[in-house]
């Protein structure tokens, strides 16, 4: 949608969703001097077992800001309550205004089918907003766009009502350290709440990065196994057969169509 640097907008439900699901592509965009903005649609205020209220919201907002600074990306958290998000008209209009204002070439978000209701709500709201960004009398206070951006869903492995389709696969091993650098900023989540929520023992401070790397690899590994053939098709038999850390993206048919040239350009196929 723009000349010059590409513009990537990630609309996640919570602080740290973007890093875990799309951190590799975010890092690749910034390494190539493209523009990235990350939005957490909720305030993150349900993501802890001890903290709550403004204390937790303020902390997670600060953590998100630090994560964005790791790569030089703007990272904002909105004020919709964590754990209570609905694909309401208010959320939809906020997303419409964000897309119109930022003018992204590519929008990444969750699929409308996911384990977390907030993820589903964001995915549905983005789907509903995709065409409406071009309609002048919807959210008329923000100038409309002449065309939709490309919208792609971040990877998940759920199979109902239909499994994720890996239209694009990306080896993120070159960017994995940067992904960890970003995730490490979310101390309240990755080193406090997630170990509690998943009943994991957290090691001493000196070993926490290694623990986080193992945790990410454990949860990302099934992606590579699931989409191995697609990795081989993109990277060849030898490299594609060995990749363990990867991201995948499915194009939304409710937004702009995607040409082979778009796929190559937007997903940095030479990176």
Distance between CA atoms of 232 and 230, rounded to whole angstroms? Answer: 5
**If pLDDT is split at 50, 70 and 90, which confidence band does 37 have?**
very high
Tokens, residue 126: 């983005």
Provide the CATH number for the domain around residue 173. Answer: 3.40.50.10320
Half-sphere exposure of 253 (CA within 13 A, CB side): 1
| Cβ 224 vs Cβ 245: under 8 Å | yes
- 163: which DSSP letter? -
CA nearest to 30, candidates 184, 175, 169: 175
Q: Let me know if residue 2 belongs to a domain.
A: no
Structural domain includes residue 248 = yes
Domain assignment present for 125: yes
For 245, the token pair is 């850390």
Q: Which of 9, 126, 23, 30 is nearest to 76 (CA)?
A: 9
The H or E element spanning position 10 is strand 7-12
Q: Is the pLDDT of residue 1 over 60?
A: no
Classify residue 71: in a domain, yes or no. Answer: yes
Q: Which two tokens stand for residue 154?
A: 């971040």
Looking at per-residue confidence, does 195 or 15 come out higher? 15
Residue with more model confidence, 82 or 198: 82
Residues 6+ apart with CB under 8 A from 206: none
Report how many domains make up the chain. 1
- Using the predicted structure, report yes or no on whether residue 166 has a pLDDT greater than 90: yes
CA distance 119 to 124: 9
**What is the share, in percent, of the chain residues with pLDDT greater than 70?**
98
State pLDDT tens for residues 191-237.
999 889 888 888 777 789 999 999 999 988 899 999 999 999 999 99
Assess if residue 271 is contained within a domain. Answer: no
Would you say residue 269 has pLDDT above 90? no
pLDDT score at 175: 97
Sort residue 259 into left (φ over 0), alpha (ψ -120 to 50) or beta: beta
The mean pLDDT value of the chain amounts to 95
> In which domain, by residue range, is 128 found?
7-266
State CA 158 to chain mean position distance: 17
Residue 1 forms part of a structural domain: no
Give me the pLDDT at residue 3, please: 67
């Amino acid at each position: 949608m723009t000349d010059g640097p590409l513009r990537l907008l990630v609309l996640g439900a919570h602080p740290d969703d973007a890093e875990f699901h799309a951190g590799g592509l975010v890092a690749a965009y910034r390494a190539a001097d493209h523009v990235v903005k990350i939005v957490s649609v909720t305030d993150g205020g349900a993501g802890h077992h001890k903290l709550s209220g403004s204390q937790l919201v303020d902390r997670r907002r600060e953590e998100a800001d630090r994560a964005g600074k790791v790569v030089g990306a703007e990272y904002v958290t909105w004020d919709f309550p964590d754990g209570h998000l609905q694909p309401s008209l208010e959320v939809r209009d906020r997303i419409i205004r964000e897309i119109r204002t930022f003018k992204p070439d590519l929008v990444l978000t969750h699929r409308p089918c996911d384990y977390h209701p907030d993820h589903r709500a964001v995915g549905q709201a983005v789907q509903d907003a995709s065409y409406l960004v071009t309609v002048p009398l919807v959210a008329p206070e923000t100038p409309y766009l002449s065309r939709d951006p490309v919208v792609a869903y971040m990877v998940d492995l759920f199979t109902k009502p239909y499994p994720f389709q890996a239209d694009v696969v990306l080896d993120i091993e070159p960017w994995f350290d940067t992904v960890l650098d970003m995730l490490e900023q979310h101390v309240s989540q990755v080193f406090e709440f997630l170990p509690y929520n998943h009943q994991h023992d957290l090691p001493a401070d000196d070993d926490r990065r290694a623990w986080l790397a193992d945790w990410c690899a454990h949860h990302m590994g099934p992606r590579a196994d699931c989409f191995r053939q697609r990795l081989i098709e993109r990277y060849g038999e030898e490299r594609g057969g060995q990749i363990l850390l990867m991201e995948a993206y499915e194009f939304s048919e409710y937004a702009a169509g995607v040409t082979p040239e778009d796929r190559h350009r937007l997903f940095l196929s030479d990176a």
